[in-house]
Chain A
């Protein structure tokens, strides 16, 4: 059909940070669905815990120390994570590169400690349903931890190449910061469920 020009878009920018960018919304969408997965897994655990009067089913208490160290590391990592976000918004290459190296290391550190969390549960997944749910919750979060650390490392390498000098890549750094917040935030309730709920019973 016939057209008449009514609006000029030529002066618009070619990228935007945060909620201005579709990628940010996509990340939020994936957080929503993964968060639902976490909530349902936690709900299943609580459902079973309320069903059986002697929850923990006579298993020994988990050793919370590796989990507590992971929690502390994750919380501490939020500080550089948000400093990095500020530099990504300014598209400042040098501090962003440093920030990405720091965040890669701060991603690997809890992952290493996480290795020691599984034996510290003091029960196997096939011993009883309590053990199964502990492994499921920890496994679910570990999957997220691994994928986000992998993503962070790839993006870090990318930022050291010439491809990094692009508004989009700085936007990707911002979204990576956003997703790391999600990985840290989802850990807190799972940490409490795994290590502290069994101590109530």
Chain B
């Protein structure tokens, strides 16, 4: 970076005059941070921004870091549950004709495994990481719409509980994570199992959509002064693109699940070919969401990689603009691929060719990203620590997954291996390699910021090698057994097929992979309790989250940073330029302009409130009741309306009035 890249603070526009015209009560001014000494400022801000004590206080919290921590822990617990599902399935498959579990339980297990990993682990954990990091990285004090953010967490938890309590009652969905009709329809899916799938989807999508909107607005309007579009960190860009993909993809699955529950509950015929409906419509709608879903999980992971690599390569990332454009290109292209999940349904050949082409095309921007990262490492002086090891693991595994993806994009091969373990191997390489390995790297990278303590480097290396070996031992042989013809979603197989030994090997690998997570959990707990103190910036990284203490105070930054470079801490190593003039006695933060991040408004951020929890209970109760009767929507409307009015009605705080 050269000094010519730096925007001088003089380029920022002069402040506008406060407009006090019209029937608006004059602002009751309070103490400002200008000229206040650090100790008094800390006292004021702590009092203003704290989460109230007590159980009600904790349930009312709107601090993005508190909500994100809850999200992260909850999502990790769901990962453990989904992982246990997998271990049980692997033990059942470890030899031919094992009688550990029967077909009915097996159907519930693989459905719960998929649903849990996709909707209760992967999407929530990438969004939660964003909830924690985005406000810190853009230099603001809280996420936009903090109460909506709190609401989204409670809705997510109730959706997860709903699914797992159903599982405990042997009422869990058993129709696969994508729940195709007619299997999940009224004719072939008796009982409540498919309804549980449909409503559980609705819960989690409401929650993801709310977080996506809050994330977009935080990135658009709450960036620190000077953080113009070209100075936004790549991780934040990745969350921005992801959130847009969520906004345009998730409604599709809500429409799908709503149509399904209407068919099942009130007798509509949307998916019923006998009465003018169509079963393939379900697949189109589902995969219009389902394919972008892969990128909703993958794009934030690439953002994590783009944050970890410069910190350890000791230089700014190579090809910043190229990486941003790749992220955007992948976001767009992700909407043009959905039909490649449906090649076996007999669609017109021309249409299939189009989707083959677009499936191969998306490898281009992904390839650009990989080459930019390699160039950064090549030109830097890499320091090999655990986060970077997981990035290397990501390269290795994701590239293999990408290559089998290009293979599967061709229709003839896809038809041969459709619904075999080859596909299972492919998408685990893509999802675990593309998202879980970067996430594990990110955990080691940002854990010091969240807890103020370091995780053990020694255990981290053990964890990495155990995970890498366990993963490949478990999933690589699946390619082979898939090519031999072993179908997915079978609860057992006869000995004569000769799949016994390789499956035993796969199970051993899966157990090893599971043990790597046990080690990870131990390292997390050990680090949180006994890890070495981390300090503000243990990796000497360049983005704003490292400018504040670890863990950050409730108000994030005592004074809002002024950004002059894409790696602000490297550009200003002596003293960080900051803005002054905000009030210390109310929750004030800075609203800036979308493109240039010019300071525009001193806005008040919402205070803690119990109403988002009450609203989530009303919404959750309505969804739950609605699997039994459509009248739930009518009866549920009243409590939902009451809680929403309670949420929005001003309580007389200064934050509400100005």
Inter-chain contact A90/B22, CB cutoff 8 Å: yes
Inter-chain contact A26/B144, CB cutoff 8 Å: yes
| Interface assignment of A1: CB less than 8 Å from any CB of chain B | yes
| Interface assignment of B449: CB less than 8 Å from any CB of chain A | no
| Interface assignment of A51: CB less than 8 Å from any CB of chain B | yes
> What bracket does the count of chain B residues touching chain A fall in?
35 or more
Beyond A166-B658, A170-B24, whether A33 also contacts B213 by CB under 8 A is yes
B32: nearest residue on chain A (CB-CB)? A10
Inter-chain contact A163/B657, CB cutoff 8 Å: yes
Residues of chain A whose beta carbon lies under 8 Å from any beta carbon of chain B: 1-16, 19-22, 25-26, 29-30, 32-34, 36-37, 40-41, 44, 47-48, 51-52, 57, 90-93, 125-133, 135-136, 150, 154, 158, 163, 165-168, 170
Inter-chain contact B658/A14, CB cutoff 8 Å: yes
Given A37-B254, A91-B22, A163-B657, 9 new contacts (CB under 8 A) = A1-B536, A6-B9, A6-B579, A10-B581, A14-B18, A36-B247, A44-B285, A125-B266, A136-B262
Q: Which of B1-40 contact A (CB under 8 A)?
A: 9, 12, 15-19, 21-25, 27, 32, 34
6 contacts between A and B (CB under 8 A): A14-B602, A16-B601, A126-B267, A128-B276, A154-B648, A166-B24
Q: What chain A residues lie within 8 Å of B104 (beta carbons)?
A: none
* Interface residue from A8, A14, A47, A170 paired with B601 (Cβ < 8 Å): A14
Inter-chain contact A40/B251, CB cutoff 8 Å: yes
- Which of A36, A51, A57, A158 gathers the greatest number of chain B CB atoms within 10 Å? A36
Nearest CB of chain B from residue A194's CB, rounded to whole Å: 15
A135: nearest residue on chain B (CB-CB)? B268
Inter-chain contact B144/A22, CB cutoff 8 Å: yes
* Interface residue from B16, B27, B216 paired with A29 (Cβ < 8 Å): B216
Inter-chain contact A166/B144, CB cutoff 8 Å: no
Q: What chain B residues lie within 8 Å of A29 (beta carbons)?
A: 212-213, 216-217, 247
Inter-chain contact A168/B649, CB cutoff 8 Å: no
Could you tell me the distance between the alpha carbons of A44 and B248 in the complex, rounded to whole angstroms? 16
Inter-chain contact A6/B578, CB cutoff 8 Å: yes
Inter-chain contact A1/B577, CB cutoff 8 Å: no
| Interface assignment of B328: CB less than 8 Å from any CB of chain A | no
Beyond A14-B27, A44-B281, whether A8 also contacts B15 by CB under 8 A is yes
Q: Which of B559-607 contact A (CB under 8 A)?
A: 559-560, 562, 569, 574-582, 590-591, 593-594, 599-604
Inter-chain contact A51/B599, CB cutoff 8 Å: no
Inter-chain contact A48/B599, CB cutoff 8 Å: no
| Interface assignment of B252: CB less than 8 Å from any CB of chain A | yes
| Interface assignment of B90: CB less than 8 Å from any CB of chain A | no
Q: What chain A residues lie within 8 Å of B9 (beta carbons)?
A: 6-7
Could you tell me the distance between the alpha carbons of A170 and B19 in the complex, rounded to whole angstroms? 13
Q: What chain B residues lie within 8 Å of A51 (beta carbons)?
A: 278
Could you tell me the distance between the alpha carbons of A168 and B262 in the complex, rounded to whole angstroms? 40
Inter-chain contact B270/A9, CB cutoff 8 Å: no
Nearest CB of chain A from residue B264's CB, rounded to whole Å: 12
Nearest CB of chain B from residue A89's CB, rounded to whole Å: 9
Inter-chain contact B255/A41, CB cutoff 8 Å: yes
Inter-chain contact B650/A7, CB cutoff 8 Å: no
Nearest CB of chain B from residue A189's CB, rounded to whole Å: 16
- Which of B222, B262, B593 gathers the greatest number of chain A CB atoms within 10 Å? B262
| Interface assignment of B288: CB less than 8 Å from any CB of chain A | yes
Inter-chain contact A158/B649, CB cutoff 8 Å: yes
Could you tell me the distance between the alpha carbons of A26 and B23 in the complex, rounded to whole angstroms? 25
| Interface assignment of B225: CB less than 8 Å from any CB of chain A | yes
Interface string of B626-658 (1 = CB under 8 A from A): 000000000000000100010011100000111
Q: What chain B residues lie within 8 Å of A167 (beta carbons)?
A: 22, 24, 658
| Interface assignment of B284: CB less than 8 Å from any CB of chain A | yes
Q: What chain B residues lie within 8 Å of A13 (beta carbons)?
A: 16-19, 601-602
| Interface assignment of B277: CB less than 8 Å from any CB of chain A | yes
Inter-chain contact A2/B221, CB cutoff 8 Å: no
Nearest CB of chain A from residue B252's CB, rounded to whole Å: 5
* Interface residue from B17, B148, B558, B656 paired with A11 (Cβ < 8 Å): B17
* Interface residue from A3, A125, A168 paired with B578 (Cβ < 8 Å): A3
Beyond A33-B247, A91-B23, whether A11 also contacts B277 by CB under 8 A is no
- Which of B145, B255, B575 gathers the greatest number of chain A CB atoms within 10 Å? B255
Could you tell me the distance between the alpha carbons of A34 and B288 in the complex, rounded to whole angstroms? 16
Nearest CB of chain B from residue A114's CB, rounded to whole Å: 16
Could you tell me the distance between the alpha carbons of A136 and B576 in the complex, rounded to whole angstroms? 56
Q: What chain B residues lie within 8 Å of A128 (beta carbons)?
A: 269, 275-276
| Interface assignment of B272: CB less than 8 Å from any CB of chain A | yes
| Interface assignment of B177: CB less than 8 Å from any CB of chain A | no
Beyond A9-B602, A91-B24, whether A132 also contacts B270 by CB under 8 A is yes
Q: What chain B residues lie within 8 Å of A8 (beta carbons)?
A: 15, 34, 579-581
* Interface residue from B276, B288, B537, B577 paired with A52 (Cβ < 8 Å): B276
Could you tell me the distance between the alpha carbons of A14 and B657 in the complex, rounded to whole angstroms? 10
* Interface residue from A21, A129, A168 paired with B270 (Cβ < 8 Å): A129
Nearest CB of chain B from residue A91's CB, rounded to whole Å: 2
